[in-house]
Amino acid sequence: MQSDPEGVVLVVDDDASVRDAMQRLFRSVGLRTEVFGSATEFLQSKLSDGPRCLVLDVRLPGMSGLDFQAELTKASIQIPIVFMTGHGDIPMTVKAMRAGAVEFLPKPFRDQDMLDAVHLALEQDRARRMGEKAGADVRAKFATLTPREQEVMGWVTAGLMNKRIAAEMHLAEITVKLHRANVMRKMGAKSLADLVRMADVVGIRKKS
Amino acid sequence: MVGLELGDPLRAGSAQFWRWIEVWSRVVRDGPLGNDQRRKLNAHHVTGRWVGGVGLAVAVGAAYFLAAQLSLGLLLQPDGVAVFWPAAGISSGFLIALGPRARWPVAGGAMAATIAANLMGDRDIWASSAFAVCNAAEALITAGLIQRYFDADFSLDRLRQVLGLLLAAVIGTVISGVGGAVSYRLFHASSAPMLTIWWHWFASDVVGIIAVAPLVIGCAAAVREPPPRSELVEGSIALALLAVMTGFIISLPPEPWETVVPGALLFPMLLWLAARCRPVFAATGAFMVSFAVVWTTIFGIGHFGDTDLPIDARILQAQAVILVVTLGAFVLAALFAERRESEARLGRSNALLQRERDNKLLNAQAITASIAHEIRQPLTAIMTNGNAALRFLGMSPPDHEEVRAALEKIISDGHRTSEMFDSIRTLFKPTDQGRQPIDVNEMILAVLQSFREELRDHLVATRPELTGLPFVVGHRNQLQQVVSNLVRNALEAMDTITNRGRVLRVRTRLRDQDTVIVEVEDTGPGIDPKRLDGIFGAFSTTKTHGMGLGLAICRMIIERHGGQLTASSDGKSGALFQFILPVEAADASAVSPR
């Protein structure tokens, strides 16, 4: 499946007219759509890469929308969800929002509300992807460090002085300083704060 | 249950006896048996647990013996009839309370006790045996009449039962009195005229039965269904007060005004007992008063012991007073009990009506919510298409093809909505139209036929298991909608199943000659058993089944045909929807739109 930088809207609703109409609506603002008639159909298909969001009816054959949201969370599939419903009660709304839904719209909805929610959801997904990519970069750089350097990075970002680190690692202080410089260089960190942030991403920061 | 150990009868007897006591106390401890129906069903079942066997005979015999001893000890003449024979009440009371299965043990116990008591009173074996037979016969006749004309739940809480007991007692003692009089003449060489002997026997036994049997019957009823604590407390207080007053009355000096005092003091107490507590309390109170009257008559205390009057007159007076007091108390108690029962019934039927009203309201809500939800889908599509069309028009250049497509969809969705309303309206038409005899199997096959392609596409194997059925009177369209809905739900539920076969089973069978059962079963994921009740409601959100017209409407249709729609599932391997229909569909009130 091709990757669409603009993002794809995935619509799951069991009513064919609704699916058709929503495709038309998103088409009119230049968004690509893929439609599914049930949660199962969705899970069985291969999803395109790239930013995407889910527009989901709470009432679906086979599995309710809320259950589906839970299933996705369990499978660690992160897609921002916009819910819609023919009837909604407050507890359902709260539950869905608590579980991380972007928006909860009644049917019929104002088209602008739906488009705003979908744009917000796509933004969220885009941001998450960038964050993940950034994280991947950090991890890749971390993998280029030698074990000693990794350990030094852990102590440095914990806030220890070089002398202490030397004592912990049974090295000379000058060796520690050498490792520290290498770490900064290889990780591409511009400051200690930067390095700390990277250490958190990797999860290497030692507890002092 | 209570087996007989032949070998050491005495030891066996006492072992049985203690087992019987143990069972009895367990019955008392374990509490009431519940509602009236269960009570009626269990009346003999419970007693069946502890009747029969030597134990009961021994218990009855012992009680009878004691009472007989007491009466014989109060004899006026050594060879006369005992003037008060509460023992008769014991034997009759036990027989009535315990039912026909206690017949032989009670009769046996009574006979043995009579013989023993008489022998100890220096009467010969023949006389004793004859009296034993008469006493046993009396109990059997009295109890037999009650058992024949009243059902097992005889607890004197109805006026009919009180009067019935009186009549049965009279008949029983009249007959046994004849036997007794003959025995007295034959074996006792009594010089008194037969009629006198018969009268004494009759009077003393009738009074004995009336005074004592209700107490025994009431106690048995109270054991079967123990009264609530508050009633126990109140009754006990009233009885205690009654005892005090009785003692007070007995000790009064014989003044002219003291003929009124007993009535004035005792009547309110008896009234209190009769009005506020169940009959066993009034029976106890009446027994207390009777006992006091007998005691004072025999021992010359107080009013009834007035030695100025000859003993015959005093005895007659005492018997008359006992009869009046006890019958009066029982009649009042029965009347009040009947009234309480009526009130309770009224309360229950009110609650039922209220529940039905609530149900109807809930149904209406469920249906309107269902309809609203169904309509929102095409409405959403229409509005969304309209908005999309506007946007396409606003582009430069405007995309006319898209606008046209959108408008066409709007029109078709409008049509769809209109059809939806039509099908809903057919549901709510007045029920006089369109009722016809329906071949349910044929209707089901037609539904399955219409789903044939879909079932095939979804890889569902269909297994109809239809047995021969009579025609069912009803609305064919509506019932067809229900079956359609259930089949569609099953289809959709099984969409998620990939690890086992998708099988749709539709069964019909006859439950009895007036009821048809239809079942639709799938092998889908099932429904969470905790949520089963809720799926027929309006706001069930986690339905795996439930599109189309909604289960609420299906249930309404079935109920309007006089049937029931239920669902069952283990939450794992599928769901079963079952509805029963009476062959002659009774019509519940229609939900008319007008």
| pLDDT for B51 | 53
B chain contacts of residue A30, beta-carbon cutoff 8 Å: none
Contact state of A92 with B541 under an 8 Å Cβ cutoff: yes
Give the fold, CATH level 3, of B11-227: Arp2/3 complex 21 kDa subunit ARPC3 (1.10.1760)
The residue of A24, A29, A82, A104 whose CB has the most chain B CBs within 10 angstroms, and thus the best one to mutate to test that interface, is A24
Structure tokens at B283: 């029976």
Mean pLDDT of chain A: 87
B chain contacts of residue A61, beta-carbon cutoff 8 Å: 492-493, 495, 544, 547
DSSP state of B78: T
What counts of helices (H) and strands (E) characterise chain A?
9, 5
Give the fold, CATH level 3, of B353-427: Helix Hairpins (1.10.287)
Amino acid present at B129: S
- Chain B residue with minimum CA distance to A64: B542
Report domain extents, chain B.
Answer: 11-227, 228-342, 353-427, 435-582
Select the residue of B381, B395, B546 nearest A18 (Cβ to Cβ): B381
ipTM passes above 0.90? no
Whether the CA torsion B106, B108, B110, B113 is positive or negative: it is negative
Distance from CA of B548 to the nearest CA of A (A): 11
What distances in angstroms separate CA B73 from CA A22, B68, B81, B82, B85, one per listed residue? 104, 8, 11, 8, 11
| pLDDT for B492 | 80
Architecture of domain B435-582: 2-Layer Sandwich (3.30)
Q: What is the DSSP string of A135-184?
A: HHHHHHHHHTS-HHHHHHHHHHHHT--HHHHHHHHT--HHHHHHHHHHHH
The residue of A9, A14, A15, A56 whose CB has the most chain B CBs within 10 angstroms, and thus the best one to mutate to test that interface, is A15
Q: How many residues does chain B have?
A: 594
Structure tokens at B335: 């009347």
Cα angle value B560/B565/B566 (rounded, 5°): 155
What distances in angstroms separate CA B96 from CA A124, B65, B141, B215, B467, one per listed residue? 84, 19, 11, 11, 49
What are the pLDDT tens digits along chain B (594 aa)? 333 333 344 454 555 555 555 555 554 444 344 344 444 444 555 555 555 567 778 888 888 888 887 777 766 655 566 777 888 888 888 888 888 888 888 888 888 888 888 887 777 788 888 888 888 889 889 888 888 888 777 888 889 888 999 999 999 999 998 888 888 877 766 677 888 888 888 888 898 888 888 888 888 888 888 888 888 899 899 999 888 888 887 777 667 666 677 777 788 888 888 888 888 888 888 888 888 888 777 776 666 666 677 777 778 888 888 888 888 888 999 999 899 889 988 988 888 788 777 767 767 777 777 777 778 888 999 999 999 999 999 998 999 999 999 999 999 989 888 887 877 776 666 655 568 889 999 999 999 988 888 888 888 899 999 998 889 998 888 888 889 889 988 888 888 788 888 999 999 999 888 899 999 999 988 888 877 777 776 544 334 443 345 677 788 888 888 889 999 998 888 999 999 999 875 444 433 333
CA–CA gap between residue B276 and residue A28 (Å, rounded): 81
| pLDDT for B2 | 35
Structure tokens at B103: 């017949």
At how many degrees (to 10) do helices B551-560 and B476-494 cross? 150
Antiparallel, parallel or unpaired: β B564-569 and B575-582: antiparallel
Report domain extents, chain A.
Answer: 8-133, 144-202
Is the pTM of the predicted complex or chain greater than 0.90? no
Architecture of domain A144-202: Orthogonal Bundle (1.10)
| pLDDT tens per residue, range A29-84 | 999 999 998 887 888 887 778 899 999 988 776 677 788 888 888 888 889 999 98
CA–CA gap between residue A77 and residue A80 (Å, rounded): 10
Residue with tokens 């690692």: A169
Lowest mean pLDDT among A104-113, A165-174, B353-362: B353-362
| pLDDT tens per residue, range B305-338 | 666 777 777 788 888 888 888 888 889 999 998 9
CA–CA gap between residue A42 and residue B379 (Å, rounded): 24
Q: Is A172 exposed, middle or buried (0-12, 13-18, 19+ CB in 10 A)?
A: exposed
DSSP state of B397: S
Interface of B with A (CB under 8 A): 369, 372-374, 376-385, 387-389, 391-392, 395, 399, 402, 405-406, 409, 412-413, 416, 492-493, 495-496, 525, 539, 541-544, 546-547
Do B164 and B150 form a contact (C-beta atoms < 8 A)?
yes
Select the residue of B381, B416, B546 nearest A21 (Cβ to Cβ): B381
Conformation bin of residue A51: beta by default, left when phi > 0, alpha when psi is -120 to 50: beta
State yes or no: pLDDT of A137 exceeds 70.
yes
| pLDDT for B29 | 46
| pLDDT for B28 | 45
CA–CA gap between residue B124 and residue B135 (Å, rounded): 17
Instruction: Please give the CATH number for the structural domain made up of A8-133.
Output: 3.40.50.2300
